[in-house]
Amino acid sequence: MGEAPEIQLQVPSEDEKLNEDSVEQQTNGNQSTTITQQRTYKWWLLMTIYTFFLLSGQSVATLLGRLYYDKGGNSKWLATIVQVVGFPILIPLYYLPSYKSSHTSNITTNPPSLLVLSGMYFGLGLLLAAGCLLYSVGLLYLPVSTYSLICASQLAFNALFSFFFNSQKFTPFIINSLVLLTISSTLLVFQNDSSGSTPVPRAKYVIGFVCTVAASAGYGLMLSLTQLCFQKILKKQTFKAVLDMIIYQSSAATLMISVGLFASGEWKSLGEEMEGFKLGKLAYVNVLVWIAVGWQVFSIGAVGLIFEASSLFSNVISTLGLPIVPVFAMVFFHDPMTGVKVISMLLAIWGFVSYVYQHYLDDRNSDTGKL
């Protein structure tokens, strides 16, 4: 018989084991880095889209709202309801394949009860309805440039509410931002733009100022509560959750505002208002329709930024649009750009930059901690 073949067992040395482990770790690390980069690119793309929606929708809707009043519109309740009634145009987004697949892959194990969801959407809808009404009164009595600058105060209110509801930490840069934005809006109460597109008595100017500040406070509260609801109640990482938030709370707000429209009796004069609109009936309808569309585009951007980042970040991006509306108002409505407005705008931009720098520091520190 021939000799049996010799079997040699090769036991890897310690150095070879270390090399294999390092190669495996490097491969896993490269895969993890690639996945992280892909997520980062996708996240930044979403943030860019949401930011564009927020800024464009906010600017167009605000300017058209001022145009409605300037050309003969006078119904505060109608100006309020168009801010929320456009939600049906978002319903087709439910049927996009990418959103449907995202929804099926992120189902929560313990979904909230129907009673909890109903109470959440009703409460947020109530805040939304009240805020929209106050904003309408403010826009009626204030020049659009002054109105938009006062709205910057919503960032300070949002930061305050975020401290209590969303564990927002205050740093020197954030405090500086809040102080500057508060001073920025407060300066505007000391002037009356009677030379602007909509001359109003001093008393109505003050009413418009107070209503706009109160609306800004309510909006800041609503954003903080929306973020809290995403974190504690919905617990869903889907765009469907964003759509649900917009559509259901807008439905509740539309119902409440409709009651106010009919209870106030303003609905009886809408036909006469359309007849007397300076730009004609077709323009009257178009202005109201595009106001509704603009605010829904804004809602997608605002709630999307809350979903992807935070309520305070969403409000900061809204404040980024601060210089846009006054400039367009000066061009289209001949609102005067007074020295007080310029100072107010510069302070608001300074406050915005201060907050963005704090956000940059937070990102840099988090990246350093991962190394």
pLDDT tops 80 at residue 280: yes
pLDDT tier at 32 (50, 70, 90 boundaries)? very low
pLDDT, average across residues 129-156: 85
Higher pLDDT, 367 or 172: 172
Q: Are 232 and 110 a contacting pair, CB within 8 Å? A: no
Residue 119: partners with Cβ closer than 8 Å, 6 or more residues away: none
pLDDT digits (tens, 9 = 90+) for 211-246: 999 999 998 899 889 889 988 898 876 778 888 888
pLDDT tier at 16 (50, 70, 90 boundaries)? low
C-alpha pair distances (Å), 316 with each of 9, 105, 132, 302: 66, 31, 19, 10
Residue 143: partners with Cβ closer than 8 Å, 6 or more residues away: 193, 196, 197, 198, 329, 333, 335
Q: What is the Cα–Cα distance from 143 to 200, expressed in whole angstroms?
A: 9
Please state the pTM of the whole predicted model: 0.75
pLDDT tier at 7 (50, 70, 90 boundaries)? very low
pLDDT tops 70 at residue 14: no
Provide, rounded to the nearest whole percent, the portion of the chain with pLDDT above 70. Answer: 78
What is the reported pLDDT for 13?
Answer: 55
pLDDT tier at 86 (50, 70, 90 boundaries)? very high
Structure tokens of 231?
A: 């974190």
Q: What is the Cα–Cα distance from 329 to 214, expressed in whole angstroms?
A: 23
Most confident segment among 80-89, 189-198, 312-321: 80-89
C-alpha pair distances (Å), 133 with each of 19, 218, 244, 324, 341: 68, 11, 23, 23, 25
Q: Are 348 and 319 a contacting pair, CB within 8 Å? A: yes
Mean predicted lDDT score pLDDT of the chain: 79
What is the reported pLDDT for 152?
Answer: 74
pLDDT tops 70 at residue 129: yes
Higher pLDDT, 189 or 96: 96
pLDDT digits (tens, 9 = 90+) for 160-212: 888 888 777 778 887 887 788 777 767 766 655 544 455 678 888 889 999 99
pLDDT digits (tens, 9 = 90+) for 290-302: 999 999 999 888 8
C-alpha pair distances (Å), 286 with each of 65, 66, 67, 281, 293: 12, 14, 11, 9, 10
